[in-house]
Structure formats: C-alpha cells, structure tokens
Structure 1
Amino acid sequence: MSVSVSPASSRTASVDPRRRPGPARLPRASKLRTAVAERLVRHALGGLPVRVRLAGRETIGQGGPLMDVRNPAAFFRRIGARGLLGFGESYMAGEWEAPDLVGLLSVFAENAATLVPGPLQRLRGAWAPRRPGRHRNTTSGSQANVSHHYDLSNELFALFLDETLTYSSALFRGFPAERQLLPAAQHRKIDRLLDLAQVGQGTQLLEIGTGWGELAIRAAQRGARVLTVTLSREQQTLAQQRIRAAGLQDRVTVLLRDYRKVLGRYDAIVSVEMIEAVGAEFWPEYFQTLDRLLAPGGQIALQAITMPHDRMLASLDTYTWVQKYIFPGGQLPSSEAIEQIVAGCTGLTTAARDGFGPHYAETLRLWRERFTERAEEVEALGFDEVFRRMWTFYLSYSEAGFRSGYLDVQQLLLTKGEAA
C-alpha cells in the first residue's frame, strides 16, 4: 500500500477521501499541539519494551515488538489532533506498520493506565474528540449503530467465522486452540449459557441479540420455545434461513425489534455480548427491561466483555477509534458498573460470575488469522485495502486487550425470586 503523507500534504495518496475521510486527510493541528504530542509519545514509547523505528533511522524504546513509523510527521500530527483515534487512523493510512501487531498492541494495553502522565489524563476532555449525538443508543440510533457493523455483509463474516457463525468468545478445553476445534468450543460456550439459564423442554426463552441464530437453534433442540430479537436485517434474514434449514421454524421466532419494545414474560433470558452495544446512558434501562421481561423464579444468562472500572470512567465521554470505525455507540462496562446497576435499579440478584478472557484472545487469534488468509476473498466482496487494514487493526487491538488482561469476558447468572 503506497501511502506516504508529507507534512504539507492534505490527503493520503491511495485512500479514497469520499469513503475514508479520516485516514485520507491529515487533520488540522497547531505546531505547538503536534510538538507536545510528539514529546509525550516519545517519552512514553522510550520507556516501554518496544522498538520504534522512525523513518528508518532513529530508534526509541527498550527493545521488543517493532513499530515501523514510516511517516513520523503525519503520525505525530494525527495524535496531536485526535489522540488515540489518530493513532488508529494513522495505521489505516499506512503511516506505520508492525510485523507483530498483536504483540505491539499488547504492550500498549498492559501500560494503558500510565502511558499518559496523571495530570494530563485529567485534561483528556479538553483535547479528546467528543462522541457525535447521532451515536446515542436511542431506539432509532441503536438501529443505525447496529446496522453500521452487522449489516456489512453476511458473506464477510462467513469468511472468518466458523460454520456456526458465532461472533462471540468461544470456550476451549486448552491452548493453543486449533481452528477445527472452534465450532465445538462455540457450542461449549452456548451450552454453558443455556445450562446457567436452565433452558430445557418447554422453556419460554427470550434471546436479546440473535447473531446468526446458533444459540436459538441450540436452545430449540433442547425443546425450548424461543423468541429472539435483533436490529440487524442481514442477521435476521440469514438466521431465519438457518432455523428453517434445521427444521425448527415452529419453535423459533426471529423479530427485528429493539429490546425495549419486547413484550411478555419469559422463564429465561440469554444475551451474549450485546450489553456492549447498549451504551452507558442506557444500561439502567437495559437491566430494568430484563427485570420486567423475566418471570419470577427465572434466570438470566449474560455474556459480557468488561474493562477496568477506572478506565471505563475515563472513557465515558470520549470518542474512540473503535466507536468511530467499528461499533458506533459502543461502550464496555466494568464489573463494578454492572453490579451497581443490577443492585440499585432492579430486583435481580447476581448469583454467579465467571471470567475467561484468555479464551477470547484465542478466539480472536483464529478469526484474525482466517481474515488475513482470505484477504483476496474479502477484496472480491468489495472491501478495499483500507477496510482490510481497519479490520486487521480491530481484530488485533481486541486480541491484545484480552491477551494483556486489560479486557475480560464474563458469563453472569442473574436470578429473580419467586412471586410473593
């Protein structure tokens, strides 16, 4: 990818500014702001176990995974203007490379809390981009946010997921995980959630977040009657096809519906990695909705990605690279935030919790490797090189978060007492 941005250039040569205006054009940033950003970045990288090569000449860092910054002027300018959002856009533009991207990003994740000096972290709101109002997870906003990611192309997801089309952490028996074992590991994860929720013959089950239907199929095969809701038209269409192919259309209903508009009472509710798309503003409403929909004596099994509470609080009002390019409106909760909302806003009780973050790192590794191997097929679907760099960065960034321990994934059991 020949993308060389000079300080005087306003556009990255091979990036279409109509499709990717962020990486295509260098943002405006004063010389002072750029100089301050460069000084801070140099100081932070100089103390880390990494090797950062600037324009093929100067090298900083304590040794470790290589970061090859081909255009330092553009790199520092982007960070000066947009912080970590600019860091990701610089990778999309081809201004820096890393032979071991996951290893490099893992070092950054391990040191996330100290990369920026404490006094400057308190000034984050003064320079970090603000989230656009259109990304709020209102009923209309949620539809658009979900569509941005999940309606890209069913064929795209099928290229790197396994045959179960399950887009959440698997549960392996051991590491390193082999690709052919991924379907069984996904079923192991699903079965564990269904066991937590005590789903069996005759259970009236609500699933919030259909995906492509694998959990609903697995639950129906146990004898449950399933209502599953999604905001993705692409997912709804393919899930319905898969459910019909399994001969379970009389036991599973797939609705295009916001979770807040679901009616009825259910013996059990399962929701897998959907809370991340709810938005912090709406977390209380999400759990209150679960409480409303669950019958007395019922169980809720959730799978949720979590982050440290202090980092969650620091990121609540900022606009991140992941939010701009991958999951508009997304926000990872902390375990503490979930506990506080469940205890303070609902009649539910957290009865069990189990984290298995390393399993997500392995799941993401398998997805990333398959995505890389099938780059030509991704291109044939109409996704350009900048998109492929963007998704490589997303998958690597996510894997690094779990591999470093910065992120975790948990299965939680919430219960509701019997009616008085």
Structure 2
Amino acid sequence: MSHSHLDAIDAQLWPGVAEVPVPRFGAWRARRAEAQFAQACDAAGLVLEGADADLRVAHDALFDRLAHGGWVGFAESYLAGEWTTPDSAHLVRVLKRLLGAGYAPKTPAVTESPATGGELPTELVKLYAGDRVSHQGGIFSTGVPTTVRESVPAYERSGAKEHFVDVTHLSEPTAVDREDLRSAQERAAAWLADATRVGAGSHVLVFPATGLQAAVQAAERRAVVDILTADPERAEAVREHLVLAGVSDNVACQDIEHLVPSPQEWRGRYDAIISIEALESLGSRERGRYVQAIDRLLDASGRAVIQATVATEQMTGPGRDALQALKAYVWPGLGLLTVPEINKLVERSTGLRIVAQTHTGPHYRESLEQERSFFVGHLREAAAAGFDPVYRRLWTYQFALREALFALGMADSVQFTLVHRNRGGRR
C-alpha cells in the first residue's frame, strides 16, 4: 500500500513515524483496531465527521499503527498527520475523553533507557516559556492553600513505623490568562526557596537547570548558588540569562557529564538543594542515585525540595500506556511514581525523610494549558528555529497529553521537602 503522505518525513530522524508498521495478521488486526477505535470514540462522545468533528482520520494507516503499537501508534499517527483536530484545545479534549472512557489498545512497553545528559533544547523552551530559558509549573495568585498534618508509613528499615508530613493542597486557580504565567512561575520558585529556607548567605544547589527561576529567586535573596547541567548548550544560555537577570555575581552554572553527579564529579555541602522535574524522567536505575546525591550534598541541618510529577490513585492502565509515547520520543526514562513510592525511595535509599509535600496539580495543569497555547502561537518561529513538522506536532501532543492526565486527576505535581532523619524530626 502506498503511503505517499510520509515522503516528506525524515526517516533517519523519525523512523517510527516515517514507516507504517505491518502488524502480524495485518488486515484483520487493523480492521479490529478500527472497530475498537470507533467504539471508543462513540463511548467518549467524540465526533469523527461533519463540521463539528473533534478529530478527522485522513489515512487508514492510523489503524495499522494502533494494531501494532496501541497508544504509541496513536501518537505516531498524529505525528505523521494521519489524524488531526481543529486545534490543540480539541487535541486535549480527544485525549482526555478517550482516556476517561478507558480506551485501552494493546500497547507494548517501550524499553527504558536512562537520561544521561541533555536537557530540553534551549531554543525549544523559549518557544513556550519566553525568554526565561527555564520551565516549571506555576502557582497562580488565586489558589488558596490548605495544610493538614498527616501520619504516613515510615519505610526506613528500622525505627518508627510512621511519621508526620505537613500536606498542603492548593485550590483551583481562577480567571487566569497567558499574562499570568510569568508571575505564577516566579511565585512557584519563591515557594521552593521558602520551603528550603533560603536567605542571605545560604549556599544553594539547583539541579538540573530546569530550576533556573528558583536559582534567580535564591540569588535575589542574596544566597550563593550553583546550578548544575549536563548540557553545554543549556549552560551557555543559562549564563546569558543570569547576566541579563543581574545575578551572575551570585550564581555559577557548572557543566557536568551526567545529570546525576557522582562524588568524583561534584562535591560540596549545601544549606539548600532545589531540584525540579528530574525524578520522573531519570529511569528506575537512576532514581536511587539521584536521591543519594541529594543526601550526600545536603548539609546536616539543610533542607532539600524536589518538585516532581506523580501518578495519583486515579491513574489507570490506559493512562500509563498513553505515557509510553512520551517515553519513546521525549523522556527515555519516564516513569511516574506515586507519593508513597517516592517516600519509600527516599527512606530506603538515603538518610533523608520527607517532612512536607505541597500538591499544586490544578495550577500545573493551568500552566501546561498556557504553555501549550504559547507554543502553538509560535509555530512559525519553531519552524524558523529548525524544528520540523513532526517535532512541532510532537511538542503539541506532549503538552496535550499531560494536560489531559492532570485534568482527569491521574497526575499531580508535588513539591517534596526533605531533611536528614538524624535531625530528630525537627522542622
């Protein structure tokens, strides 16, 4: 069968997109995949034809891909332009409704590979985060925090069976527009600095460079800051931003070989450590080394904060399957842990303990919506920067998928505050 619509796709860059797979018992499995997809769309209330269509299928290759790769094939078909939506908001709607309806095409697991170096390209980040060359979820001013102290299981191999954690939830933000995103991200950075009690003279470590805004916030409080990045291109962009922000005298950006520094690669003792959006992308083998590095580098009386996307109790099998596409094409070590799993990881791997956690999911979802809108508004600039149509569709898709998971309550963003257990539980 001819697939001339794929001729313009670079097969070296996008081998899984440029070629339509031929599943075993291909014709029969493709017909079954088409029937299952139609049933799922009907159950989800999605319109496939007419002026009000939520999505349009332009090529039957979609069903070969669904039969072969499930949710990964569904994403690859979108990247190939084989199905489309009127706009990116409809893409969120399609993903949200299919996941909400429990659409579960058989999805082979993507082989995990650890994140060993590069962060997101600086030119890409600028297309949705503006000139800040960093990205993180925001906290909007209309959210109201509520804090309770909860007893949680202790996972250390000896000692108490439970301990207390201050758990904060933020209410939904209201009346938000794109202009609010910058202040929301600055507010989120301030919360991270507050959680680690950064002040004048504090020695602060920020890694990876995703936490650039937190580093600027710490420097503005007259702290001394080190930023670690395993991406030389990102390091150069960070240094330029630090000069423009007027904090280059207080902040040093250091190149390291690996995203998680070994004792030979980086030494020091810090009053505060801030890490944003690293844990979920590292891969299962690296996560223990990641929290152990924080343990090693944190001063005995210091505080660390980890911001991570987590899976909630509402996460489903189809939700995890849908994330396989992002594992295949964006974050090769991607895996969303639950809050109890992160508690267990910290206590089994280190001498640290989580003493507070702030749930900011509704605000993170709103941040994703604003970033998606900002990126889609700069597609021409993305093309001029060298991102081809497949890459541009990929980035739109990953925003929409994550936004859908947050909207369904399957994912949450949490700031975890950690201290050494030998502090005797002092806050």
TM-score category (smaller protein): 0.7 to 0.9
Aligned pair partner of 2:402 in 390, 398, 406: 398
CA deviation after TM superposition for structure 1 residue 96, in Å: 0.9
Does residue 332 of structure 1 match 2:336?
yes
Give the match for residue 165 of structure 1. 133
**CA 1:316–1:370 in structure 2 vs 1: closer, same or farther (change >3 Å)?**
closer
- C-alpha distance in 2 between matches for 1:355 and 1:84: 28
Q: Is 1:40 aligned with 2:41?
A: no
Q: How far has the Cα of 1:169 moved from its partner?
A: 0.4
Distance 1:309 1:45 in 2: 25
Alignment of 1:18-417 (within 5 A): 18-29=12-23, 30-53=26-49, 66-71=54-59, 73-99=60-86, 100-111=90-101, 114-116=102-104, 128-131=108-111, 135-137=113-115, 142-143=116-117, 146-147=118-119, 150-151=120-121, 154-174=122-142, 175-211=174-210, 213-257=212-256, 258=258, 259-261=260-262, 262-308=266-312, 320-417=324-421
Opposite residue 80 of structure 1, the aligned amino acid is A
- Runs of 4+ more than 6 Å apart: 312-319
SS state at 2:254 partner? strand
Separation in structure 1 between the aligned mates of residue 124 and residue 209 of structure 2, nearest angstrom: 18
The Cα of 1:115 is off from its aligned counterpart by 2.4
Percent of residue pairs bearing the same amino acid type: 29
Q: How far has the Cα of 1:324 moved from its partner? A: 2.0
Please report how far the alpha carbon of residue 343 of structure 1 lies from its aligned counterpart in structure 2 after TM superposition: 2.5
State the shift of 1:212 in Å. 7.3
CA shift, 1:237, in A, is: 0.5
Q: After TM superposition, give the deviation of residue 26 of structure 1 in Å.
A: 0.7
Give a deviation string over 1:305-329, Cα, whole Å, max 9, x none: 1113685899989982112222222
- What is the Cα deviation at residue 11 of structure 1? 6.5
Q: Looking at both structures, which has the greater relative contact order when contacts are Cα pairs under 8 Å and sequence separation is at least 6?
A: 2
1:379–1:334 Cα change, 3 Å: same
The secondary structure found in structure 1 opposite 2:210 is coil
Deviation at residue 357 of structure 1 after TM alignment:
1.2
Query: How far off its partner does 1:35 sit?
Result: 3.5
Asked if 1 retains the 8 angstrom alpha-carbon contact of 2:192 and 2:214, the reply is no
The Cα shift of 1:213 comes to 2.8
Change beyond 3 A, Cα 1:317–1:372:
closer
Alignment of 1:2-17 (within 5 A): 7-9=1-3, 12-17=6-11
Please give the TM-score of this superposition, normalised by the length of structure 2: 0.82
Kept in 2: contact 1:296–1:417 (CA 8 A): no
Cα displacement string for residues 86-122 of structure 1 (whole angstroms, at most 9, x for unaligned residues): 10011111111122111111213334xx323xxxx9x
The structural deviation recorded for 1:350 is 1.3
Q: 1:212 to 1:333 in 2, by over 3 A?
A: closer
**SS of aligned partner of 1:351:** strand
Looking at structure 2, the residues matched to 104 and 373 of structure 1 have their Cα atoms a distance apart, in angstroms, of: 20
Whether the 8 Å contact between 2:75 and 2:325 is mirrored in structure 1 is yes
Counterpart of 1:260 in structure 2: which amino acid?
Answer: P
Q: Tell me by how many angstroms 1:272 deviates.
A: 1.1
Code of the residue aligned with 1:255 in structure 2: it is Q
Report the Cα distance in structure 2 between the residues aligned to 1:182 and 1:315, rounded to whole angstroms. 27
User: Is contact 1:209-1:230 (8 Å) kept?
Assistant: yes
* Uncovered stretches (5+) of structure 1, i.e. residues with no partner: 1-6, 58-63
SS of alignment partner, residue 44 of structure 2: coil
Paired residues of 1:312 and 1:332 also in contact (CA < 8 A): no
2:280–2:308: 8 Å Cα contact kept in structure 1? yes
Question: Aligned equivalents of 1:165 and 1:221: distance in 2?
Answer: 18
Contact (CA 8 Å) 2:77, 2:83: kept in 1 or not? yes
Give the partner amino acid of 1:69.
Answer: V
CA contact (8 A) 2:276 2:307 kept: yes
**Aligned counterparts of 2:247 and 2:180: Cα–Cα separation in 1:** 25
Q: Would you say the 8 A contact 2:139–2:188 is kept in 1?
A: yes
* Counterparts of 2:403 and 2:355, CA distance in 1: 29
Contact 2:6 2:18 in 1 (8 A): yes
TM-score (norm 1): 0.83
Contact 1:297 1:417 in 2 (8 A): no
Contact 2:114 2:333 in 1 (8 A): yes
Taking the aligned partners of 2:30 and 2:384, their CA distance within structure 1 comes to 39
SS in 2 for 1:377: helix
C-alpha distance in structure 2 between counterparts of 1:70 and 1:341, whole Å: 45
Bigger Cα displacement from structure 2, 23-32 vs 198-207: 23-32
C-alpha change, 1:229 and 1:65, in structure 2 (3 Å) is farther
Partner SS state of residue 130, structure 2: coil
Distance 1:315 1:368, change over 3 A: closer
Q: Separation in 1 of the partners of 2:130 and 2:387?
A: 20
CA offset at residue 418 of structure 1? 5.1
AA partner of residue 77 (structure 2) = S
CA contact (8 A) 1:280 1:316 kept: no
